Amino acid sequence: MAASPQPASTESASRTAIHWQRFAVPFEYPVVFTEGVFDPENCALRDVLCRLEPAKRHRVVFFVDDGLIGSGASRTSLLETIERYALAHADAVELACPPIAVPGGEKIKSELHFVESFQQTLFELHIDRHSYVIAVGGGAVLDAVGLISTTTHRGVRHIRIPTTVLAQNDSGVGVKNGVNLHGVKNFVGTFAPPFAVINDLRFVMSLPERDKIAGIAEAVKVALIRDAEFFRWIERHMADLATHQRDAMATMIRRCAELHMRQIGQGGDPFEMGSARPLDYGHWSAHKLESLTRHHVRHGEAVAIGMALDARYSVLAGLLAAGEELRICALLEFLGFDLWHPALAKTGPSGEPVILAGLRDFQEHLGGELCVTLLADIGVGVEVHQIDAARMGQALHWLRARAAPG
């Protein structure tokens, strides 16, 4: 480890003494890729639960996204499947209670009574720090249940089973949890690595068409800023991805998850202490567009537009070779993304596009100086600390003209 500039203890002549406390805690967790995680013969979940204490019977609580449960006769099927799995592995797994269905989507993050009532449940079940809280669902359910797990008893073991493309290739493999408060997304949250993540392709294949497409945006994003070869792979397989072919989707999710994991594990700032947001290419305008449309535009859909905008800006700023932005836009459109939304045309009292306020919000989220990732080449992200509003206005105009020529 590099020598720290501070001595272990300093004492000045006067009344102040400083003792430097210093330690490092290594984190590790497996990210498992499988199919049919709750098939009784699939041991992925059992192996994960038993990885530290193989001989123990582990107490487990499941929170399951109700978007997975369906309605009518199929309503209980996933909950029952989980119960059957636990029964088949009863020597290793003890359900502390039947799996609990929870609201999917932003509702669970925006209404805090859910957090309180789930914590009440953990209290009544006497869940301890060696028990497991397992979240099965989209990114919103993972964020909310993750927060509950990491704050109850200051941290109960938490396993994530993400069920959307976005949660499997991006949010679910990371270290962040959170819920919304005061109308601010993720205002309350923690950085806390999970005990394990299990990605099951079967969940993704049952997603509605729109959500299958939306999550691909994060793969294009990470390819654009980190991995030119992956970008070329996406281009070569765009027909398979646009029609959600199983093998192409599996490879795309896995490579994208790996690149996100590498950034968290090796990027030097897993808990985002600095001002950089290295994986947030195309995100400053995406977050703003999501809130301007009250989340009618999905995160991935907004990121696709944000990437097209910042690609054009990168060309106008002389960073990216002219023509590359057309290549990026063509790929995104082929995959099924619209690259314009009327909310981008909204202007404020000063006549400036409202979307530009997203730059300030983006800076405020972390504090410190503005740090926006642009493109120096396909596969090469570059951080800049200033954005020229007039030039960004030109990029917006260009995007609009492409969408409605003439």
Ligand X SMILES: NC(=O)c1ccc[n+]([C@@H]2O[C@H](COP(=O)([O-])OP(=O)(O)OC[C@H]3O[C@@H](n4cnc5c(N)ncnc54)[C@H](O)[C@@H]3O)[C@@H](O)[C@H]2O)c1
Pick the binder of ligand X from 49, 207, 355, 392 (CB under 6 A).
207
Nearer to ligand X, 142 or 343 (CB): 142
Interface size with ligand X, residues (CB under 6 A)? 27
Pick the binder of ligand X from 49, 114, 127, 139 (CB under 6 A).
139
| Cβ atoms 186, 138 nearer than 8 A | no
Structure tokens given for 385: 């600390």
Check residue 25 and report its DSSP letter: -
Angstrom distances, CA of residue 224 to CA of 31, 76, 281, 371? 23, 41, 9, 17
- The least CB distance from residue 395 to ligand X, in Å, is 24
Listed residue (203, 183, 182, 290) closest to 246, CA to CA: 203
If binding is defined by CB under 6 A, does position 206 make contact with ligand X? Answer: yes
d(CA 104, CA 255): 26
The four Cα atoms 207, 132, 55, 92 give a dihedral, to 10 degrees, of -50
Site string for ligand X, 81-120 (x = CB under 6 A): -----------------------xxx--x-----------
- The least CB distance from residue 167 to ligand X, in Å, is 4
Residue with the two structure tokens 């590359």: 324
Angstrom distances, CA of residue 298 to CA of 124, 330, 353? 36, 20, 21
Pick the binder of ligand X from 92, 114, 138, 192 (CB under 6 A).
138
- Residue numbers 154-193 binding ligand X by CB under 6 A: 163-164, 166-167, 170-171, 174, 176, 185
Residue with the two structure tokens 């989707």: 249
Structure tokens given for 327: 């290549």
| Cβ atoms 171, 214 nearer than 8 A | no
Pick the binder of ligand X from 67, 99, 358, 381 (CB under 6 A).
67
Nearer to ligand X, 248 or 320 (CB): 248
- The least CB distance from residue 174 to ligand X, in Å, is 4
Q: Which stretch binds ligand X (CB under 6 A): 62-70, 153-161, 310-318, 353-361?
A: 62-70
Interface residues with ligand X (CB under 6 A) are 65, 67-68, 104-106, 109, 137-141, 143, 163-164, 166-167, 170-171, 174, 176, 185, 203, 206-207, 211, 299
